[in-house]
Amino acid sequence: MLKSSVLKQKLSSIDGQDYGAYQTLIGTYDFNLFTLIIQQIPKDPFAPPHTGIYRIQVQRHVDRIINLELNSKIQKTAFTDFLARCFFNAGQKISKGIRGTGYSGIITIDQPGQAILERSSVVVTDEVIEVRCFLGLPADGRKIISEIAEEMLLSELPKIVDKSLLKENIDHEALHNHLAAAEDAEYLRNKLDSLELIAFIANNSILPRESGVSDKPTSDKNVVPFVSPDSLVKEIEIPHAGFIKGMAIPRGVTLITGGGYHGKSTLLKALETGIYNHIPGDGREQCVTAAQAVKIRAYDGRCVTKTDISPFIKNLPFGKNTTSFSTENASGSTSQAANIIEAIEVRANVLLMDEDTCATNFMIRDVKMQKLVNKADEPITAFIDKVKQLYLEKNISTVLVLGGVGDYFDVSDLVVQMINYRPFDVTAKARRISTAFPAKREVEDKSYPFHVRDRIPISESIVPHNEYGKLRIYAKEVHRLHFGSQDIDLTDLEQLMELSQTKALGYALAHSKKYMNDKSTLLEIIDRVIKDIDEHGIDVISDRISGHFAEFRGLELALALNRFRGFDVIQKNTNVI
């Protein structure tokens, strides 16, 4: 291990040289309080952050270093998540930002969002806390600027480490609250099944967000806190907050209805993100949804691979097979049907839908259309005729935001109306309306069984290398993954929250190939990947150390795989799920 003074000498010797001379800095340096491992330096100042590997290690036994006894996975996740936020915030305050070409002058870490997630940017072992950050070593064009590099490495970086890892600089109350919020939410979510619930929204939660592109809570002083209708209130005791009250959503078919701009989609969004534990101050800390809940929508143009969509669509013109349906350009209805089947294939047990992003002809055929177009000429069986069957036969619940189709009253177990962001239980009223105005439409295809066929992925169809044989996996946007020689469009995976999750998904897709043996089903493969991560940490998905991964669900991994053009499977004809 080299002294930090050696790093200073090296920087002085390469001042003004070509950017490639920075490679001479690779090594391990002793800064007394911490160790800096410069493992990989980009060869270009414009190279993206993930191409550099800079690791800071502190010994946990050192008295000045923040340390906790971590007794569970959720505690460890919350602790490392908190430290990642401390390091990011310290970097924002202490680093002077861009100073030169490209990323020159930046000291940062992957920015955490509103969810408390396992991250590879901060790793805790029995001995050390390791922070993996990005340093944009400075240049003017391709000319090294040693003076700024010295300021970054020998002055700014030690200050950031002190600010984010020293016990004396940590807000211990904030750390306690961070861990408590994660443990309470995890406990709540784990209680849902025994209470026969699919979600719980605590009273006084703040559901509205800052904007349509921000997941931060609104700062509007007129925001309406969430308060449950009396008929749906449930009181639950959780480890840190004690007894809390809120709206309990039971299993079955739930409609969220009401006029426009009254909070229907805001409530659904809270349910979508309720699969995550939220940071203190988010407003949704005690809003939880079943871990296997999935947002379903239509998405024209996506590919579908050998998926049995016949419970919803069959008897297509020209005899096109829908028990093993494939297309490179799905319509709205076929994409939505495929999305549902693909999600159920990997154990989704709650479907979340908003009519605004659903295909109208998939959701309902009203009586007038039934009179005009005979069922024999209509391949689609509308979701309204399958939603109850899904629950009764498969125990799969549905929450549907709906403002314009009252026929769904007939198949719902619970109807919640949003009025000025306040929920009201109008189930009894909806049933009286159904009785007074009986539906004239006919239930279609009620005898067709609801099944999902196992599929066996073919390893050779998953190619993470480009046309030159080089591994190419990266993401610059949350909903677009570059994998091999193509982009995977993840727009309809609306529960992805952070870029780090998308980056991790890419490497997990490549990692999943090791379990593709022409025998294992998609579900078995996904389970093995998630087991690897649970047992060995998220680093297991890549041979190369990265600070740019965040945890994801097996559901998103399977759904991303289904959106890879060229993905191929063997569909099993037996053992339907």
Residues 488-518: pLDDT tens digits? 999 999 999 999 999 999 999 999 999 999 9
Judge whether residue 573 has pLDDT over 90.
no
Q: What is the pLDDT of residue 445?
A: 83
Which pLDDT belongs to residue 576? 46
pLDDT at 139: 96
pLDDT (0 to 100) of residue 74: 97
Whether 311 contacts 448, CB under 8 Å: yes
Domain boundaries, the chain: 2-170, 184-292+349-452, 455-571
List all residues 6 or more positions away from 449 whose beta carbon is below 8 Å from its beta carbon.
311, 393
d(CA 92, CA 99): 14
Tell me the residue ranges of DSSP E strands in 421-577: 422-425, 455-457, 473-477, 480-483, 486-489, 569-571
pLDDT of 575 reads 45
Bridge-partner residues for 59, per DSSP? 128
**Confidence class for position 213, pLDDT limits 50, 70, 90:** confident
Answer whether residue 574 shows pLDDT above 80: no
pLDDT tens for 26-84 read 999 999 999 999 999 998 999 887 788 999 999 999 999 999 999 999 999 999 999 99
* Average predicted confidence (pLDDT) for the chain: 95
Pairwise CA distance, residues 373 & 382, whole Å: 14
Q: How far apart are CA 36 and CA 54, in angstroms?
A: 7
Determine the Cα–Cα distance for residues 281 and 219; give it in Å rounded to an integer: 11
348-356 average pLDDT score: 97
Query: Which pLDDT value is given to residue 446?
Result: 74
